[in-house]
A and B are shown apart, each in its own frame.
Chain A
Amino acid sequence: MTQKQEWGSRLGVILAVSGSAVGLGNFLRFPGQAAQNGGGSFMIPYFLALLLLGIPIGWAEWSMGRYGGRKGFHSAPAILGVVGKGSVARYFGVIGVLIPLAVYFYYILIESWCLAYAYDYFVGGGVGIDNTAAITEQTKAANDHFDNFTGANFDGVMLDGSIHESVLFWATVFTINVILVYRGISKGIEKFCQFAMPIMAVCALIVLARVLTLGTPDPAHPDQNVWNGLGQMWNPSFEVLANPQTWLAAAGQIFFSLSVGFGVIINYASYMKKKDDVVVSGLTSSATNELFEVGFGGMITIPAAFVFLGASGTIAAVQTGTFGLGFKTLPVVFAQMPAGNLIGGFWFFMLFLAAITSSLSMLQPTLAFFEEALGITRQKATTMLVAISLLGSMFVLYFSKGLTALGVIDDWVGTLGIFVLAMVQIVCFGWVFGIDRGWKELHQGAQIRLWPMFKFVMRYLTPLFLIVVFIAFCVNNLGDWISAVAENPVKQMTIGLIMATIVMLVIITRIGEKRWRAMGLDLDGKLPPPDDSPGKEPMPIYHERGEA
């Protein structure tokens, strides 16, 4: 008996998209960005970017995904080919498979670090920090633990013949991901997210309650208290609003946080039905992401660091970036905190859940692409995906020194690629598909009608905003990135890996294109969906066990 892929409930798809969006960036990147860019005043450009950039692109993706799904397509290349009316958009859509696949190569490693740290805190009594030593010694111990665990000092240390602890966690997490994604959209991803998201919220609430009740733990430093810690995060300095960098940072944070331009929403929405609401659903998943980001991320990380490390220690911690703050500074904070091992365990388990709900969403778009482009069963597509992602992930695992391979993929695919895909999507939606048609499609089955102003926003303001942010981003970063690649052989090899992945995906798209044409599918979006035109040939769909 065959079963088609679809979501079991509306709440299920919302939680799955929210799970995809909520990740380490909500808890570690956002507070750092806000504290460095004006605190409370950062929220003005941040919320503007949410309204003008994040939510509109999200709505476009939800609509295009559902529209493509009604035509029997579930992958970004196929759906963008339909919405973008031709092969140019279809081949740009390859980026929508490249991003989740290539980001998965390294994201699975970060996920395994979170699980390993959670295990160390719950079972192993922490990560070996002696809280009676000087803070500098404790920081060094936290750094050493992280570097040894991730192999950041030497290439190849993780795969040198002996079984490194981190490899065990990596293999465990990899297996869990494959099993869940193989079980399918409803039985695997949706069911897992329905449990994982509430558990993540409970963990966050436990850590938040602990941080907000810390008071003034060290009477020798009465100024290092929770109230001032919240001030470090939220006190506004309005003069930064005159600095374009603040606006760029806010737009970048919203953009990377919401999972828009990632190739995930378009795939997830393709399993929805014609009359399923996408307006409120899209807004709800964005709002859930904001709850975790502002409500938890903004209230936990900086105040906790401030209470134990003071203002200068917190600023220094923020400047070490996401990994530095999360895996090197916070363990020092947990070492000082009463019940710190338990709270550390909840914190890293929460990060693990945030990471796994995201990594699951990275596998499904590629799986759907292999199934529909090559016409193979889910079992074969999973085998192919496992082989490719194993190779890619082992490459990142091997070239661990300075986390170089990880950083290159994150920059070139996980950052630059997202900008490009988001631009392609919003142009396809607002200009090629047509804003009037897109607006109508967006409101199919919608619970609420949007202000007509958003039509103008999606056609003009969002693309313009995106282009400005993208140009500024390229001016700030691209030159340095290119020079860094030119000087470093590992970075060059990583670019080679990315290029090889692109070539493979383009070839598969070409095979799919021929196959879809031979099947008589409307791959260039010339006809309305079958459910809009009674009497047309029904579109074949792809079944859970691969039988069409």
Chain B
Amino acid sequence: MSTAGLISMFLSLCFVIGLVSWCYYRVLTAETPPPEETEHFHSA
């Protein structure tokens, strides 16, 4: 593998892994939203 190949692989993997890590960090550390009034519309 050439140096340019190594760099493109490294950058692509870093971008993807960084994005996934950031996203799941935000999802897993988010506070649960309070129950909302739309619930009442759905009660049978």
Contacts and interface: CB of A to CB of B under 8 A. Distances in A.
Interface of A: 2, 4, 10-11, 14, 39-41, 43, 47, 70, 227-228, 230-231, 233-236, 273-277, 280-281, 283-284, 287-288, 290-291, 294-295, 298, 445, 447-448, 530-531, 534, 538-539, 541, 543, 547-548
B27 A10 contact: yes
The 10 nearest A-B residue pairs measured at CB: A40-B8, A231-B1, A235-B5, A284-B23, A538-B41, A234-B9, A531-B38, A234-B5, A287-B19, A287-B20
Interface in B1-33: 1-2, 4-9, 11-13, 15-17, 19-20, 23-24, 26-28, 30, 33
**Band of interface residues on B:** 20 to 34
A227 to B, nearest CB: 5
A290 B19 contact: yes
Contacts of A4: 42, 44
Contacts of B44: 2, 4, 543, 547-548
Given A40-B12, A277-B30, A445-B33, A283 B5 contact: no
Given A234-B12, A273-B33, 5 more contacts: A40-B8, A273-B39, A274-B36, A280-B26, A448-B26
Contact of A294 (B1, B4, B12, B30): B12
Of A41, A234, A291, A530, the most chain B CB neighbours within 10 A belong to A234
B33 to A, nearest CB: 5
A11 B28 contact: yes
Contacts of A448: 26
A277 B29 CA distance: 13
Contact of A295 (B13, B27, B38): B13
A47 B15 contact: yes
Given A40-B9, A234-B9, A283 B23 contact: yes
Contacts of B38: 70, 273-274, 530-531
A287 B34 CA distance: 27
A204 to B, nearest CB: 13
Nearest to B24: A284
Given A234-B6, A236-B8, A284 B41 contact: no
Contact of B8 (A70, A234, A277, A538): A234
Contacts of B40: 538
Which of the listed residues A2, A294, A534 has the most CB atoms from chain B within 10 Å of its own CB? A294
Which of B27, B33, B36 has its CB near the most chain A CB atoms (within 10 A)?
B27
Contacts of B36: 273-275, 531
Contacts of A273: 33, 36, 38-39
Contact of A280 (B23, B34, B37): B23
A4 B44 CA distance: 9
Contact of B17 (A228, A295, A541): A295
Contacts of A275: 33-34, 36
A14 B16 contact: no
A280 B28 CA distance: 11
19 contacts: A4-B42, A40-B5, A227-B1, A234-B5, A234-B9, A235-B2, A280-B27, A281-B27, A283-B19, A283-B23, A284-B20, A284-B23, A284-B27, A287-B16, A290-B19, A291-B17, A294-B16, A530-B41, A531-B41
A539 B39 CA distance: 11
Nearest to A536: B41
Contacts of A283: 19, 23
A290 B16 contact: yes
A43 B10 CA distance: 12
A241 to B, nearest CB: 12
A381 B4 CA distance: 55
B19 A228 contact: no
B15 A228 contact: no
Contacts of A538: 40-41
Select the residue from B7, B9, B24, B44 with max chain A CB neighbours within 10 A. Answer: B9
Contacts of B28: 11
Contacts of A277: 30
Contacts of B41: 530-531, 538-539, 541
Contacts of B34: 275
Nearest to B10: A234
A230 B33 contact: no
Nearest to A42: B8
A150 B33 CA distance: 49
B9 A230 contact: yes
Nearest to B30: A447
B20 A43 contact: no
B30 A298 contact: no
Nearest to B41: A538
A10 to B, nearest CB: 6
